Amino acid sequence: MQEIVKILIGLVILGLGIPIGDFLRKQTKEELNAGRKWFGIIILICLVGAVITLIWKDDALLFGLLFIAIVTSRSLKFRKNNKKKKR
């Protein structure tokens, strides 16, 4: 039962990554354009780290890395779509 509660709390926090990523995208438009490749590298490192933490069975680190990946990818995803619409 305790493990289920931990996973549910983790999923709620991961869900909060979506609005946080949207908020950061709106607040930091210039930084997103300048650091696009670095954000991509951060996403890749976080996803690889998440797979490794699945093997180590470290839930806190897993959800932390996934949260960073969601926030970063959410910001970059919407920024690309906005560029396409302007053309």
**What was the pLDDT predicted at 82?**
52
User: Residue 30 is inside which H or E element, if any?
Assistant: helix 29-34
**What was the pLDDT predicted at 28?**
82
Q: Which residues of the chain have pLDDT under 50?
A: 78-80, 87
3: buried, middle or exposed (CB in 10 Å: 19+, 13-18, 0-12)?
A: exposed
The pTM (predicted TM-score) of the whole model is 0.78
**What was the pLDDT predicted at 47?**
94
